[in-house]
Structure 1
Amino acid sequence: MTTDPTLVRIGEAVQANHRGEREAARALFAGIWDEIGGERGDPLYVCTLAHSMADAQDDVGQELVWDERALAAAGSLTDARLAEAGVAMPVAALYPSLHLNLSECHRRLGDLDRAREHLREAEATIGALGDDQYGEVIRKGLRQVAERVGRPSAEGPSSQALS
């Protein structure tokens, strides 16, 4: 568990979003976004905040913009920076979730080719996930999106809805 104050504040905004306080969550995220310097900020904060802000969007186009920002920032992250912040996972473990979210956005926008591209990217990086609850949530999501874009996932079939 991290004690990094910025990550803690991002986590508080995530919790507000989970409680259904979407406007409040977006306002918290926006304030932190300004404080960290937006896309030019620390890649850890940019990636984490953008990934979370995407989930607070009502418009899928805006969700896609935030998910793309998260993926771009992940490219500048290092395992050392994650460890320094108390995040107990390698950067590689972020990619399946980032690509999963992008795949689902493109699917919802009707761009099945791009959805499949990101699904393939997510599946190619799935080996970085552990055999834990987080890994299972992502694997389940991959199966669900694969069904929605009309092709079987490398992870096998599932009939449950993506959360």
Structure 2
Amino acid sequence: MDQREVPGDAVMTRIGQAVMLLHAGDREEARNRFGTLWSEIGESGEALHRCTLAHYMADTQDDPGDELAWDLRALTAAEGLAGAVVTEPDAACRDATAVRALVPSLHLNLAADYVKLQRFEAARVHLDRAWDAVEVLEDDGYGGGVRAAIGRMERRMRGSAAGE
């Protein structure tokens, strides 16, 4: 995800620090920090924070079922933001834009989770939803990377279907 953080958003800063640990290969410390943050913000925290945190927390899981549960939390938070009551228009617009850019990746991750769990029909549903959501992505490194990853998953699933 493109980490365009808002000045003064301490939660996004802390999420970003844990993401750096994750990308550096320290999954356990990243998982610990994400866990601490989740206990602070929980199910009632801001949707963008919950979505981003759960999205990355999923990547730290060893068990595919746990990974699926975190990815589902991320999608639920994203969907909650879409239906949220706007009390701060600027912040809500910013958060909604950030979450829209995450939606294709969220569905891609869910497709991958379901493939790991050999639930291919559910994987197909989420891969189709990822394809449906890519039009919101810009033609930049992030957008290109997500599109390429969706394409790889498409080929992988076709290969799985051919081998059945």
Give the TM-score normalised by the residue count of structure 1.
0.84
- Give the Cα separation in 2 of the matches to 1:19 and 1:55: 13
3-state SS of 2:39 partner:
helix
Aligned to 1:40: 44
Change in Cα spacing, 1:134 to 1:144, as seen in structure 2 (3 Å) is same
Q: 1:98 is matched by which residue type in structure 2? A: L
Cα deviations by residue, 1:124-144 (Å, 9 ceiling, x for unpaired):
111011101000111011111
Gaps of 5+ in 1: 152-163
CA RMSD of aligned residues (A): 1.9
Aligned to 1:16: 21
Gaps of 5+ in 2: 83-88, 160-164
- Give the Cα separation in 1 of the matches to 2:59 and 2:51: 13
Q: 1:132 is matched by which residue type in structure 2? A: D
Aligned to 1:81: 91
Aligned to 2:155: 147
Cα deviations by residue, 1:39-96 (Å, 9 ceiling, x for unpaired):
22211111010001011111111111000000000012258436557x9x45322210
Count of matched residue pairs: 148
- In 2, are the aligned partners of 1:44 and 1:82 still within 8 Å (CA)? no
Cα deviations by residue, 1:133-161 (Å, 9 ceiling, x for unpaired):
0001110111111111117xxxxxxxxxx
Work out whether 1:136 is the aligned partner of 2:144: yes
- In 1, are the aligned partners of 2:48 and 2:99 still within 8 Å (CA)? no
CA positional deviation for 1:113: 0.6
Work out whether 1:72 is the aligned partner of 2:76: yes
Aligned to 1:118: 126
- Give the Cα separation in 2 of the matches to 1:133 and 1:103: 22
3-state SS of 1:58 partner:
coil
Change in Cα spacing, 1:90 to 1:32, as seen in structure 2 (3 Å) is closer
- Give the Cα separation in 1 of the matches to 2:90 and 2:108: 24
Give the TM-score normalised by the residue count of structure 2.
0.83
Change in Cα spacing, 1:59 to 1:82, as seen in structure 2 (3 Å) is farther
- Give the Cα separation in 1 of the matches to 2:69 and 2:29: 20
- Give the Cα separation in 1 of the matches to 2:151 and 2:113: 15
3-state SS of 2:61 partner:
coil
Change in Cα spacing, 1:144 to 1:69, as seen in structure 2 (3 Å) is same
Work out whether 1:61 is the aligned partner of 2:71: no
More helix by share: 2
